[in-house]
Amino acid sequence: MPESIVVGVDGSECADRAIDWAADEAVRRNRPLHLVHAVDGSPYRAPLFTPPETVEHLTRLSHRVLDEARERVRRRHPDLQTTTLLLAEYTPKALMAESEKAYELVLGNRGHGGFAGMPLGSTSLRMAARTTVPLVIVRGDADDRGEVVAGLDLTKDEETTLSYAFDAAALHETRLRVVHAWLIYPTYIEAGYAPDDEKVEAEIRKQVRNVIAPWRAKYPQIDVVEEVVIEHPVAALTNASRSARLVVTGAPERSWTAPRLGSISHGAIHHAHCPVAVVPR
């Protein structure tokens, strides 16, 4: 059986949009869909201190969330192979375990609880910093129009990021825009360093072309636009996302210290106007 696409569900409107996106993705990629709902495990781990009716009510509501999610998928794609799983576990831990052998993990940008004004939920933020598989955070207009946008960092190994981006563009039969943004910080200018912007940009464009060249050869059917801009990377990706169906960005390299989301990935998933794929390097 091919690796599944895992989607976290909690009955929220944002989760419903994630279910729709994940179901469409599963059909395109001919992969099964796995719906996961996690609930606080405290009532189950300490039954002596929890009224039986509380546990029963919690279980009934949780199964309803999964049943409604599965029915939503059935109405959209009747023949899609779909499984469900209810876990009494801390949500990020449950999602991490279920996604370890998945093709990708899909989440809504917000779930139930928290502050409505915050642009990204705590679960999505934690998973973006820890995921070992591509994570798609469904936000903004999750429709099937527009191009795929990939952020390119010339200082990092972008093999997996570009692989995912080119594959997504091929899957959707759409254009791929590869964006590299660069800045000269004010402190350099104040110190008397005034580079020739045109010369620097020409060199950067050459580097971008060299990085992209093998991928152009591998995907000759894709219309690729290379965009080099003097702008903060987050602003560049946010602007490009206005007419995109998906933004692809690399996750920071994992280290032995506490997981931390990179500033560009962090900014993209907070401000993009479309779904964002965070791809582990």
Q: Which of 138, 159, 182 is the last residue of a domain?
A: 138
Angle at 241 between CA 95 and CA 104, to 5 degrees: 25
Q: How many domains does the chain have?
A: 2
Alpha helices, DSSP H, located in the chain: 13-29, 42-45, 52-76, 91-99, 122-130, 159-172, 186-190, 197-218, 233-241, 263-271
Name the residue with higher pLDDT: 176 or 115: 176
Q: Tens digit of pLDDT for each residue in 138-174? A: 987 767 789 999 999 998 999 999 999 999 999 999 9
Structural domain including 55 reads 5-138
CATH number at residue 35: 3.40.50.620
Task: Identify whether residues 264 and 160 lie together within a single domain.
Answer: yes
Q: Is the CB of residue 2 less than 8 Å from the CB of residue 31? A: yes
Task: Identify whether residues 54 and 118 lie together within a single domain.
Answer: yes
Task: Identify whether residues 160 and 128 lie together within a single domain.
Answer: no
Task: Identify whether residues 33 and 124 lie together within a single domain.
Answer: yes
Give the 3-state DSSP-derived string for 6-73, with helices as H, strands as E and coil as C. EEECCCCHHHHHHHHHHHHHHHHHCCCEEEEEEECCHHHHCHHHCCHHHHHHHHHHHHHHHHHHHHHH
Q: Which of 110, 138, 166 is the last residue of a domain?
A: 138
Task: Identify whether residues 66 and 183 lie together within a single domain.
Answer: no
Q: Tens digit of pLDDT for each residue in 7-17? A: 999 999 999 99
Task: Identify whether residues 62 and 177 lie together within a single domain.
Answer: no
pLDDT computed for residue 257 by the predictor: 41
Lowest mean pLDDT among 188-197, 238-247, 271-280: 188-197
Q: Tens digit of pLDDT for each residue in 208-255? A: 999 999 999 999 999 999 999 989 999 999 999 999 999 999 986 654
Indicate the pLDDT class of residue 264, thresholds 50, 70 and 90. Answer: confident
- Whole-model pTM: value is 0.86
Mean pLDDT of 263-270: 84
Task: Identify whether residues 134 and 153 lie together within a single domain.
Answer: no
Angle at 90 between CA 135 and CA 249, to 5 degrees: 15
**Residue showing tokens 């972008």:** 158
Mean pLDDT of 26-34: 97
Beta partners for 244?
A: 147
